[in-house]
Amino acid sequence: MRLASGHVAVQLEGEELAKIQRDFGGFSKGLVRLTPGRWVLPAPYTKFADKIYNMKFRASDVLIMTYPKCGTTWTQEVVWTMRNNPNLDHPKASIPVKARSPFVDSDMLTHMGKDVHNNELLEMVKDIVPHPDPDEGLALQMTANLPDPRTIKTHLPFSLMTPDLLDTAKVIYVARNPKDVVLSFLHHSRLMKSMSYVGSLEQYVDYFVNDQLIYGPYWEHLREAWPRRDHPNMHFLFYEDMKADPKAELRKLNQFLGTDLTEEQLQKIAHYTSFEEMKKRDEVFYQTRGTKRVNTEVSKKDGGFYRKGEAGSWRGQLTDVQETKIDDWTKVNSLKLDISFRYSV
Ligand code: A3P
């Protein structure tokens, strides 16, 4: 199948698909691989791909683009708060960030499930989308209906978004070191029903370095973003830098976004968006409502979405063999890309 982006999507099949479906209970609808780029995505992506690619951005949009688990939600909350809630008194600030800042490509994840109408977002967005139709993609409708200024999330790389993106909107790309990413993504893949990973850590590291996880290849994602880092509409952010000195990073964002916040406002927002504070608010919200999206036995055993929130927590969790695999893979890929990560702060 040819997509508007020019990519050709081919269904994964045979032994590769069978193995993935044994390890990921959530991928019953299959996966596709795109050429060029070798992007791996859930099969329902093809239903929404052209709509996402042809999406009209506005001059006031900020798009937060990341490979999964690189600090997307944190950055969304920081940016949304800086733009909409500088004094921390917005009446809607306590609803989850996903109901304020749409995840534009999430419809394909919802459509991996059995019942697209049983969608948690449906209830949250009814003020924004008057007649929502989950079959047509709730996240897409939410994005289209959201008033300015929109803070939008995507895990898709540049080549799957409109080519004039940076000419129109601002993009914040967030990157995180691959060792923390793989452990964070492993937990997420076990936690979320849409993926329901049941394999081992060892197998998961193999999926990661073999570029078989959705939204990968990890390095290709970076390779498309890194050369664009000096574009005036682009801001490149590292998770580890935010962790080391959030206020310094908020200051840079203040300049990039033109939000003109005072030092005192930035200080308060840095505290408000800290791991502990965001985790606390999330627990309060879901304690009263519950959620059907997560595997509860995993969240009871290993925690929920807010797992550790650290840079360097991979230490002691990866075996020497697993670490070497990631190091070798990093060495090969870094040759073509002049980027270096901090592996702890
Ligand atoms: P861990 O699994 O390592 O804890 P994303 O939003 O891209 O899915 O990234 C999720 C990762 O960011 C998780 O990492 C999560 O705990 C962490 N995270 C979320 N909010 C954070 C915050 N305010 N400060 C630091 N890390 C945060």
Write the DSSP symbol of residue 56: P
Q: How far is the CA of 74 from the centre of ligand 1 (A)?
A: 6
pTM, two decimals, is 0.97
Backbone angles phi, psi at 42, to 5 degrees: -60, 145
Relative to beta strand 151-154, strand 170-175 is unpaired
Contact between 86 and 65 under an 8 Å Cβ cutoff? The reply is no
Q: How far is the CA of 35 from the centre of ligand 1 (A)?
A: 30
Residue 306 near ligand 1, beta carbon < 6 Å: yes
Residue 307 near ligand 1, beta carbon < 6 Å: yes
**Residue 273 Cα: closest atom of ligand 1:** 23
User: Residue 60 contacts by C-beta under 8 Å, 6 or more apart in sequence?
Assistant: 148, 149, 150, 169
For domain 43-337, the question of CATH label 3.40.50.300 is answered with yes
Separation of alpha carbons 136 and 309, rounded Å:
34
- In angstroms, the Cα distances linking 114 to 104, 109, 111, 126, 332 are 20, 11, 7, 22, 40
Residue 106 near ligand 1, beta carbon < 6 Å: no
**Residue 174 Cα: closest atom of ligand 1:** 7
Q: How far is the CA of 220 from the centre of ligand 1 (A)?
A: 22
pLDDT of residue 288: 74
What does each of the 345 residues of the chain score in pLDDT, given as a tens digit?
999 999 999 999 999 999 999 999 999 999 999 999 999 999 999 999 999 999 999 999 999 999 999 999 999 999 999 999 999 999 999 899 999 999 999 999 999 887 788 788 888 888 899 999 999 999 999 999 999 999 999 999 999 999 999 999 999 999 999 999 999 999 999 999 999 999 999 999 999 999 999 999 999 999 999 999 999 999 999 999 999 999 999 999 999 999 999 999 999 999 999 999 999 999 888 777 777 889 999 999 999 999 999 999 999 999 999 999 999 999 999 887 989 999 999
Substitution site in 275, 318, 345 for ligand 1 pocket (most atoms within 8 Å of beta carbon): 275
Residue 73 near ligand 1, beta carbon < 6 Å: yes
The residue whose CA is least distant from atom 26 of ligand 1 is 309
Q: How far is the CA of 308 from the centre of ligand 1 (A)?
A: 7
Q: How far is the CA of 275 from the centre of ligand 1 (A)?
A: 7
Residue 207 near ligand 1, beta carbon < 6 Å: no
If one counts every other C-beta atom within 10 angstroms of the C-beta of residue 236, the result is 18
Contact between 272 and 207 under an 8 Å Cβ cutoff? The reply is no
Q: How far is the CA of 11 from the centre of ligand 1 (A)?
A: 31
